[in-house]
Copies of this chain bind each other. A is one copy, B any other.
C-alpha cells in the first residue's frame, strides 16, 4: 500500500497552528518561512513516498539479520539511507557550522513525521543519530565535536544510545557498565548493553555509540553515571577510520514489530576494553542523556502519529474499495462500499480525529521549542520552554497510546482481511506496540508529568495552559456556529476536569504519592486528549476564517467536521479519566500483592 504524505495538512499546521511566520522572525531562522516550509515538505514527501515507503513491507518480511557479529539490513535499506544522507535530510535541524541546514523544529518535525510514516524501522536510525548529535553539541568537547559532528550530520556515520542493561531498564540507577580512566585521557569501557537500536548495521561506515557507564569510584545510583563516546571504529587524527574498537554485537532480537530495525545486544570490552571518550564531565551522564532522551521522546511521539497516519490511509483505501452490505439509510440500493456504513465511518473519523489532534499538538509544541531556543527575550524563551516541556510527555505518551487504538481500528476496518499478514494493516498494529515502551514507557512519561511538570511548579504551567484553552473557548463561543459551540462546550468540560486533576496532583503528589501516581497515566491521557482537542478548536477557528475568504472549501470544512467529531467523541473521555483519578486512587493499591 503506497503512502501519500499529508503535505497539505502539515502545511496547515505549520502556517496556522505553529505560526511559521513568527518562527521565521527568530534570529537564525530568517529564511525559514512558509515558502521554505512548502519547498522542503514537497521535496521530503517525494523522497519518502518514492524511496522509503516502498521498503516498509520488505522490512517486515525480510528483517535485519545477524551472523558472526554482522548485521545485514533489509535489501534496499542501505541504498535508501545513502540517498537520505545525500539529500541532506539527516542535517535538517542541525547546526550549519557542522554542515546542517539549521532549519527550525517546526519544519523538521513535519519531515520526521513523513519519514516515520514511510517506514518506522528505517526512520529509527536517523532518529537515534539525531540524539547523539544533540548530546555532542550540548556537552561534547571541541575535539569530540570536530571529530564526530560533521560525519554524523552528513549521514556518513550513525549514532546510538546505550542506556539499557539486563537489570537496568527504566531504572538507570542500576547501570553496571564501567569505565576505567587511561593515562591518555581516554577510558576503557566494559559492560553489556541491550535493546540498542541500530547498535550494529551495514548502512554506514562507522557507528558512534553513546554509552552510559560508571567511572571507578563513582557514587552509587544515577549520580555516578557518566556518558562516553565509543565509536565502532576508532578515528585517526586525519579523520580516517582506524582500528576496530572492542564493541561488538553478539545478537539481535526477534521482535513483535519494527523488524527491520536491528535491536542489538552489545558487548563492550570483552577483549581488553573498548576505547571511550568522556562526554562533558564525569557523573553528569544522566543529565546529558536526558538531552538525547527529550529529543527522542518527542520524536517517538511523532512516530505514533506517523504510524497512525499510514494505518488510516490504508483503511480509507480499503473502505472505498470493499463492497459489502446495504447502507442502513437506504442511500444505495444493494451492496455498497463499506465507507457508506456508519460504524466504518465512525472508525475512520476516530482515526482521523486522533491523528489530526495529536499532529496539531506536536506541531504547536515544535514552534514553542523553536521560540524557547531562539527568541531574543529571556522571558519569552522561558515561557515557551515551560510550555514545550509540559508538552513532551503528552506528545510522547498520548500520541503513542492513541497509535495503538488507531492501528487496531485500521485492522478492524479491514475485517477478516486485516488479520491476514499480506494485507499489511497488521504490520502497523505490531510495529506501534513498541512506541508506548521505548524512550520511557507511558508510565515514565506520566511520572514526569506528575512530578517535574506539574508538582514542581505547583501546577503553574498546567494552569497557564488551561487559561489559554479557556481563551480559545471564548473565541469559539463568539464565533457561534453549531460546530464551534459544540467544541467550546466539550472543551470547557474537559478543561475543568483537567484543572480538577491538576489540583489533585499538586495536593497529593507528596502527601499521598500512591494515590497521585495511581492516576498518573490517566492524567497524561486526560491532558493529552484535552490539548489535542484544544488545538483542533484553534484549527476550527482558522478554518472558519479561511472558508469566509472562499478558500479551499473541502479542506476547511473537513477540518471543522473533524474538530467537532473530536470534541463530541473523544473529549468526553476526560470525564471518565477525571472520575477514575479523583475517586479511584485507593482501589488501585488496595489488593494485597499476594492476592493477584
Contacts and interface: CB of A to CB of B under 8 A. Distances in A.
A95 B443 CA distance: 52
A411 B256 CA distance: 10
B562 A591 contact: yes
A111 interface: no
A169 B415 contact: yes
A420 interface: yes
Interface stretch (A11-19, A39-47, A337-345): A337-345
A515 to B, nearest CB: 8
B592 A565 contact: no
Contacts of A580: 568-569, 572
A542 interface: no
A551 interface: no
B575 A587 contact: no
A564 interface: yes
Contacts of A253: 419-420
A443 B170 CA distance: 39
Contacts of A325: 170-171, 173
Given A340-B593, A343-B517, A418-B433, 6 more contacts: A170-B325, A341-B517, A342-B520, A418-B437, A419-B433, A565-B591
Nearest to A489: B583
A346 B515 CA distance: 11
Interface string A573-589: 11110011001100111
Contacts of A164: 416
Interface stretch (A290-298, A316-324, A530-538): A316-324
- Chain A interface residue number, banded: 35 or more
A555 B596 CA distance: 10
Contacts of A516: 328
Interface stretch (A25-33, A369-377, A421-429): A421-429
> Could you say which of A346, A422, A443, A518 has the most chain B C-beta atoms within 10 Å of its C-beta?
A346
A575 B324 CA distance: 32
A583 to B, nearest CB: 5
B421 A256 contact: yes
A144 interface: no
B518 A345 contact: yes
Contacts of A568: 579-580, 583-584, 587
Nearest to A591: B561
Interface of A: 164, 167, 169-171, 173-174, 195, 253-257, 316, 319-320, 323-325, 328-329, 335, 339-346, 348-349, 352, 404, 408, 411-412, 415-416, 418-422, 426, 429-430, 433-434, 436-438, 441-443, 446-447, 486, 513-514, 516-518, 520-522, 554-555, 557-558, 561-562, 564-565, 568-569, 572-576, 579-580, 583-584, 587-596
12 contacts: A169-B324, A169-B416, A254-B420, A254-B421, A255-B421, A256-B420, A345-B518, A348-B596, A562-B591, A565-B590, A568-B583, A569-B584
Given A255-B419, A255-B421, A412-B437, A329 B442 contact: no
> Could you say which of A438, A517, A591 has the most chain B C-beta atoms within 10 Å of its C-beta?
A591
Given A443-B341, A565-B588, A174 B420 contact: no
Given A169-B416, A426-B433, A583-B486, A343 B575 contact: no
A522 B558 CA distance: 23
A300 B418 CA distance: 18
> Could you say which of A255, A325, A340 has the most chain B C-beta atoms within 10 Å of its C-beta?
A325
Nearest to A579: B572
A564 B587 contact: yes
A373 B594 CA distance: 41
A343 B596 contact: no
Contacts of A579: 568, 572, 575
Contact of A342 (B430, B589, B596): B589
Contacts of A348: 596
A429 B255 CA distance: 13
Given A583-B568, A595-B558, A343 B520 contact: yes
A445 to B, nearest CB: 11
A430 B426 CA distance: 9
Given A323-B167, A558-B591, A437 B421 contact: no
